[in-house]
Amino acid sequence: MQTLSAVDKIKTIENGSILTPLGFQTGAVAAGIRYTKLDLGVIFSEKPASSAAVYTTNLFQAAPIKVTKESISVEGGKLQAVVVNSGCANACTGKQGYEDAINMRNLTAKKYGLKETQVAVASTGVIGECLPMDKVEAGIEALSLGNSKNDAENFQTAILTTDLVMKSSCYSAEIDGKTVYMGGTSKGSGMIHPNMATMLAFLTTDANISSENLSLALKQITDKTFNQITVDGDTSTNDMVLVMANGMAENNPLSSEHPDWEIFVELLRVSCESLAKQIAKDGEGATKLVEVEVKGAVNDSEARWVAKQIIGSSLVKTAVYGADANWGRIIGAIGQSKAALDPENVDVAIGPIKMLEKSEPLKFSEEEALAYLKQDFIQIFVDLHYGEGYGKAWGCDLSYDYVKINASYRS
């Protein structure tokens, strides 16, 4: 009898959400930060949840990130709520911004009878503007929790900025004979570039795992997922991926020694990859999702780096937008990566169409390439023939609309 791999043990939950795992509720309101749109939301766990987060590498880290780091650093990394606003990033706002983020945390804690450090804070929107705290305070007071599909969608909507669509994921796996669920949602459309970008992602799970082990898994997975997407080469001040695990599935505590550890890590990976790809697909002005797969690098890290270099190339992105099978731009991006390789032994294919083999150009049908590049999902394959390293990256094409959107972002 063939043994199933970890990836084969993960099930997709159709119509699932961040509220599918046991013990989570959400709420969202239109507080007036973004005119009449939903712009303030909360995720609440019935029980204190082991929590872990990763943050932007931008040196200008927004006040909410500082406050969330403080919350996770105490109470053994246990959180029960995260409050999120859109429309204002509360970044580069000095002492006032920090005080406002603390106030958001404290108001939410008071609302739900929690310790202040059991609340995380996240913000997204325009940089350099202070939060309208009178509206934030009234919005938090007006929040009402629920566990319906509508409640999940309202929260997913409240965290969006220039995004065109909501992003969500939900998967399950059997651990210790218990069904463990993991749901997620994210936002992100522009300022998307490794390592992370103007993106927020929140994942909930009813798995039983310590904050320390959850952090170990998250850091391992982030490099393969969220850090492998790029839209425009800019990294934001507010990026955050936050996972909450409340243990209500009642499996035995997970650690690297647990026999089902790899299943949990795979559950986290597919959840993060799904959200990352949805962000890339919804890039500002994007018309196509692009996936780059690199194999044959000296190691996985260099393979991922080459893939990011290709998908981050403006010339590659514009060629994809124009349905131009200009594989020379792909080669140019590979060469800029400074990865270990033999320039005389590289293969390149766009979709099923091989264009370069052992660095020798191949004849191909321009009509077939044009038809393929007009699709809304494009794959680029590269083989460096230099080692066993493998990696992927995701991004989108670069269109005229990207310039239009960002030329008038504040208006």
Whether residues 190 and 322 fall in one domain: no
Question: If pLDDT is split at 50, 70 and 90, which confidence band does 1 have?
Answer: very low
Whether residues 345 and 399 fall in one domain: yes
pLDDT in tens, 332-379: 999 988 889 999 999 999 999 999 999 999 999 999 999 999 998 999
Answer with the one of 261, 281, 301 that is the final residue of a domain.
281
Q: Which residues contact 106 (CB under 8 A, 6 or more apart)?
A: 116, 119
Answer yes or no: is 76 within a domain.
yes
What proportion of the chain, given as a percentage, has pLDDT over 90? 69
- 199: CATH: 3.60.70.12
Residue 195 reports pLDDT greater than 60: no
Whether residues 48 and 158 fall in one domain: yes
Is the sign of the CA dihedral 389, 395, 400, 404 positive or negative?
negative
Tell me the backbone φ, ψ of residue 3, rounded to 5 degrees.
Answer: -85, 130
pLDDT, average across residues 128-152:
96
Is the sign of the CA dihedral 255, 257, 258, 260 positive or negative?
positive
Q: What is the Cα–Cα distance from 33 to 39, expressed in whole angstroms? A: 6
Identify which has the larger pLDDT, 209 or 318: 209
Beta strands 360-361 and 353-357, pairing class: antiparallel
Residue-range definition of the domain harbouring residue 348: 289-407
Res 56: pLDDT: 77
Identify which has the larger pLDDT, 31 or 229: 31
pLDDT, average across residues 204-208:
98
Contact 383, 347 (CB under 8 A): yes
Whether residues 263 and 315 fall in one domain: no
Answer yes or no: is 77 within a domain.
yes
Residue 29 reports pLDDT greater than 90: yes
pLDDT in tens, 259-276: 999 999 999 999 999 998
Residues with a catalytic annotation lie at: 198
Answer with the one of 258, 281, 304 that is the final residue of a domain.
281
Mean pLDDT, the chain, integer: 89
Whether residues 375 and 233 fall in one domain: no
Res 36: pLDDT: 78
Res 110: pLDDT: 98
Res 234: pLDDT: 47
Angle 261-281/211-222 helices, nearest 10 degrees? 50
Q: Which residues contact 20 (CB under 8 A, 6 or more apart)?
A: 13, 170, 181, 183
Whether residues 273 and 353 fall in one domain: no
Res 384: pLDDT: 97
- 366: CATH: 3.10.20.340
Whether residues 331 and 302 fall in one domain: yes
Res 233: pLDDT: 45
Whether residues 273 and 127 fall in one domain: yes
pLDDT, average across residues 308-316:
89
Answer yes or no: is 382 within a domain.
yes
Contact 297, 386 (CB under 8 A): yes
Contact 193, 279 (CB under 8 A): no
Answer yes or no: is 333 within a domain.
yes
Answer yes or no: is 1 within a domain.
no
Residue 71 reports pLDDT greater than 60: yes
pLDDT, average across residues 381-395:
94
Whether residues 275 and 308 fall in one domain: no
Residue 4 reports pLDDT greater than 50: yes
For residue 260, which amino acid is it? D
Question: If pLDDT is split at 50, 70 and 90, which confidence band does 250 have?
Answer: very high
Res 191: pLDDT: 42
3-state SS, one letter per residue, for the chain: CCCCCCHHHCEECCCCCCCCCCCEEEEEECCCCCCCCCCEEEEEEEEEEEEEEEECCCCCCCHHHHHHHHHHHCHHHEEEEEEEEEEECCCCCHHHHHHHHHHHHHHHHHHHCCCHHHEEEEEEEECCCCCCHHHHHHHHHHCCCECCHHHHHHHHHHCCCCCCCCEEEEEEEEECCEEEEEEEEEECCCCCCCCCCCCEEEEEECCCECHHHHHHHHHHHHCCCHHHEECCCCCCCCCEEEEEECCCCCCCCECCCCCCHHHHHHHHHHHHHHHHHHHHHCCCCCCCEEEEEEEEECCHHHHHHHHHHHHCCHHHHHHHHCCCCCHHHHHHHHHHCCCCCCCCCCEEEECCEEEEECCEECCCCHHHHHHHHCCCEEEEEEECCCCCEEEEEEEECCCHHHHHHHHCCCC
Q: How many domains would you assign to the chain?
A: 2
Of 85-99, 153-167, 186-200, 292-306, give the lowest mean pLDDT range. 186-200
Answer with the one of 248, 281, 314 that is the final residue of a domain.
281
Answer yes or no: is 3 within a domain.
no
Residue 3 reports pLDDT greater than 80: no
Whether residues 251 and 325 fall in one domain: no
Residue 290 reports pLDDT greater than 80: yes
Question: If pLDDT is split at 50, 70 and 90, which confidence band does 303 have?
Answer: very high
pLDDT, average across residues 236-244:
86
pTM here is: 0.80
Res 380: pLDDT: 97
Residue 57 reports pLDDT greater than 80: no
Residues in a beta bridge with 91 = none
Res 277: pLDDT: 85
C-alpha distances out from residue 320 to 15, 214, 262, 332, Å: 32, 38, 36, 15
Q: What is the Cα–Cα distance from 242 to 121, expressed in whole angstroms? A: 10
Whether residues 264 and 350 fall in one domain: no
Whether residues 172 and 298 fall in one domain: no
pLDDT, average across residues 91-103:
95
pLDDT, average across residues 139-144:
98
